[in-house]
Amino acid sequence: MRGIGRDHDDRYRGWVITFCVLTAAFLWFIFSLQETYTRILELPMEVADIPDGRALTRLPPERAQVQVVGEGVQLLRYYYNPPRIFLRGHQEGEVDVQSAAREALGNVILQSVSPRTVDIMTGPVEWKRVRVQPRVELQLKAGHRIIPPVRIRPDSVTLVGARSILEGIRSWPTERRTLGGVDDSVSTMIPLRDSLAGLVEFDTREVAYFANVQEFTQAVRMVDVRVTGMPDGRQVSLDPSRVELTYQIPLSQFDAAQESDDLYLEVPWAAMRDDDSGMIFPTLRTPPYLYVLQPRWSPSGLRYYDVLEGEDQ
């Protein structure tokens, strides 16, 4: 029983000692906050009261460094929640930062501020519509390609700012974005770059980006060679009149491409009429619903006969 009582007394004594230490620390903290200290703080700065129809042509420094004297409780509040220094922009030229800092700090004593003054410069405000420049890199998986066009919505943005700033801007970029391992179409939102924050405002903060990504495959088929623009009554013999075409095509278009009559080689009559070599080189014609890449055909050149017979001079 005596051992149990001794343990109880030890625990009670420990609680008393802990309470005394905490009370002493609390009282020290309270009295410390009532003492006067000298501290250096960084306060954010902002330009206010800019006249209608005017806009800043350059920004002041983001922060001012101030040395202040005050009670600990005041300085602690300013440290965690620094007041904002408002620079009045209704009058251009040199603005006294020290006076503005005194207004922001209230009862504490301001000993020094850096910078002491800043120049506020404004110009006539202007609205300008420019195209959006996407900065998106798609790292495609093997065998995949982008079918243009890449679409941006909206594809332009309205900028508002000083005329001297906007006059040299022809487009506005998005933030950089890299997407890896892409094997399907991409649809995503991309924020506009805010490189002139505080000087230029937008009517939108982000745009929709869409890229049609398809897997491609190789296809081989026979296609016709057609003479276009030939006068009535003329007969032309091509050798050969059909050639083997090899090309890359999206998988989704493979069947349509293999069966389409709108995929063919063309020889203009005018080119044959002006040729004196007896050999003509056709060009490929593709319909708008097919996206054909890397076409090649064999043979690449064709012989032709009876082109000049009976031609009117």
User: Which regions of the chain are under pLDDT 70?
Assistant: 1-35, 37, 72-73, 306-313
Question: In CATH, what is the architecture of 216-305?
Answer: Beta Complex (2.170)
Is this prediction's pTM over 0.75?
A: no
Residue 163, classed as helix, strand or coil, is: helix
**What is residue 145's predicted lDDT score, i.e. its pLDDT?**
96
CATH class for the domain made up of 126-215:
mainly beta
* Domains 36-120 and 216-305 fall in the same CATH topology: yes
For the domain covering 36-120, report its CATH number. Answer: 2.170.120
Q: pLDDT, tens digit, for every residue of 4-18?
A: 555 555 565 656 566
Q: At what angle do helices 2-33 and 72-80 cross, to 10 degrees?
A: 90
285 burial level (CB within 10 Å; 0-12, 13-18, 19+): middle
DSSP 103-127: HHHTTSEEEEEESSEEEE-EEEEEE
Neighbours of 106 (CB within 10 A): 10
Ordered by start, the domain boundaries in the chain are: 36-120, 126-215, 216-305
Q: What is the pLDDT of residue 17?
A: 60
State the residue for tokens 């009429």.
Answer: 273
Q: What is the pLDDT of residues 135-194, one digit of tens each?
A: 999 999 999 999 999 999 999 999 999 999 999 899 999 999 999 999 999 999 999 998
